[in-house]
Structure 1
């Protein structure tokens, strides 16, 4: 469910990115408290057409009883309708429709040694993770390995530097620029699987890291995951979130033949309905024809907002960049990418 929230601040981060802060009224404080790593779905209407986008929360999670700090990072995307609006038009006092925090790319504060490999705007949720962890867990440590094109294009440069100043013994920062040489530090170039396989053991004790968080473009996340696998890291300790999918083949779940006629039963907010699935439409589109409140944001298999549990029947997914292997094995799918593989399918959006 979306709620109208006023914009409290719009801060320019780089030439092509801003941080937007929303003011949350007291009656919505509990609803909008976030766990580090979660994101917000934002909505606006243009000429009667609905536009939804998801952006991760970069602010630290509030302490118990404190007011939620809702600040998101938005980077301009070529042709991006919402990002163009945010950078060129959005102003303090404007009202934006916002859905409560969601997402499963999480690091609740706990003791341990954690590390992240991020690229570009992938720093956004990880900034919230690191800031919250270091503030609340005196014994915790965090290593941030970030890749950006140039220093001028680096989002949250001051915020990350401030973390380093406040926690010099517990926060390790490694920066790699792909298109610009640095006066000190690592040579420029992309962080691919081969380079990370060599670099990570030289930077930190790979086998002692309690959780790895990979966030950014698909190529970087895929390369980091391959490097960790080559280094023998347990898959359960690796968490990932894709911010941008490069052109090329997409991860596809095994396909099954589509039935000539299929029906979908879906449960959402405790109410169920059954509808015929039209040829070629996704299961999310089937639900949206009768239930406008069905959860979704990107419709591209990236954000995970439309995650649902398959109660009965079988489905096939075209793309999956959001669900962990454990989730798909447990029976979860992305409704926006799912099509029926049996004549009857039942989904539960409430699980």
Structure 2
């Protein structure tokens, strides 16, 4: 189970109109590319560290506002310098094996956050491909310009990137190890483009993140855990794990990214959708398992059991 501790926010930096960085007053032992889990009254989410250890800068995480996203909007609207938030971690394995290698880095939107920590740690200059909606949505725009050359892709000018288009841009760097981070649609296109460019699968490292859900359905969650049954109100768009944890219960969980399976729970009745899943397979679904950290209600009543 992650161990939370209070962390003071030393400063809040506006990065774009919908993204901010929280500079933390904390002595963290972390690796470039790792993330922290932040717990708020609106729920808990994982946010990557955009800083790098050993550089003299304070740790910082970056939060991008999601339309209808309860946690990201709560942080962007309410958190100020001097506030304290409960945080757990660091965690994650999205870290280069060597900081002397020449890397190819691909980021989409706020996927630049862990990539930024990696850039600051490298002892050689990597190549960065960075996709955004438009110029105003480029997080760390000025800071990146002072660190390395960037291949920018702007959807409003160039359209949504395709695997064939990216292949032409990435082919000159096919001998490098590639690190990819962003929302699932971007990651899928980037992985396909790297394969078409001739980058072997074993040299492609991926950090996926699922956008904080804004949809879903208000429901009641019936949760059987530790020999007792609990009826919990489940607000539309919230993840099941947040609902259970906020009720003061103690379910198993770890990564919150849909990658480890620690939060798996058996669905007894009702219907949910999983925002993201990298661990459960068809036989797991056949046995009734879902990921609590990724489950959003579809039906009015959902029953799960940890028995």
- State TM-score, norm by structure 2: 0.72
User: How far apart in 1 are the matches of 2:12 and 2:258?
Assistant: 23
Say if 1:36 and 1:132, in contact at 8 Å, map to a contact too: yes
Question: Map of 1:68-217 to 2, 5 A cutoff?
Answer: 69-133=58-122, 137=123, 140-164=124-148, 172-180=149-157, 188-201=158-171, 204-206=172-174, 208-209=175-176, 211-217=177-183
Say if 1:15 and 1:153, in contact at 8 Å, map to a contact too: yes
1:56-89 Cα shifts (integer Å, max 9, x gaps): 10011236xx7x8320111110111221122221
Distance 1:107-1:227 versus aligned 2 partners, 3 A rule: same
Provide the residue aligned with 1:292 in structure 2. Answer: 250
Question: Map of 1:223-238 to 2, 5 A cutoff?
Answer: 223-238=189-204
Q: Secondary structure at the match of 1:100?
A: strand
Aligned residues: CA RMSD: 3.7
Say if 1:308 and 1:334, in contact at 8 Å, map to a contact too: no
> Rg bigger for which structure?
1
Q: Secondary structure at the match of 1:42?
A: strand
> Could you list the runs of 5+ residues in structure 1 that have no partner in the other structure?
165-171, 181-187, 248-262, 265-273, 311-316, 340-345, 347-351
Query: Is residue 2:238 matched to residue 1:242?
Result: no
Question: Map of 1:330-341 to 2, 5 A cutoff?
Answer: 335-336=291-292
> Could you list the runs of 5+ residues in structure 2 that have no partner in the other structure?
214-223, 231-238, 265-272, 296-305
1:78-133 Cα shifts (integer Å, max 9, x gaps): 11122112222110111000002111222254321101111110111001001111
Q: Secondary structure at the match of 1:147?
A: strand
Query: Is residue 2:171 matched to residue 1:218?
Result: no
User: How far apart in 2 are the matches of 1:97 and 1:74?
Assistant: 15
Question: Map of 1:28-67 to 2, 5 A cutoff?
Answer: 29=27, 32-45=28-41, 51-62=43-54
Aligned residue pairs: how many? Answer: 262
Distance 1:91-1:246 versus aligned 2 partners, 3 A rule: closer
Q: Secondary structure at the match of 1:179?
A: helix
User: How far apart in 1 are the matches of 2:33 and 2:160?
Assistant: 24
Runs of 4+ in 1 over 6 A off after TM superposition: 274-278, 282-285, 287-291
User: How far apart in 2 are the matches of 1:236 and 1:277?
Assistant: 45
Q: Secondary structure at the match of 1:124?
A: helix
Distance 1:291-1:86 versus aligned 2 partners, 3 A rule: closer
Say if 2:33 and 2:118, in contact at 8 Å, map to a contact too: yes
Deviation of 1:162 after TM superposition, in Å, equals: 1.7
User: How far apart in 1 are the matches of 2:173 and 2:251?
Assistant: 46
User: How far apart in 2 are the matches of 1:275 and 1:87?
Assistant: 39
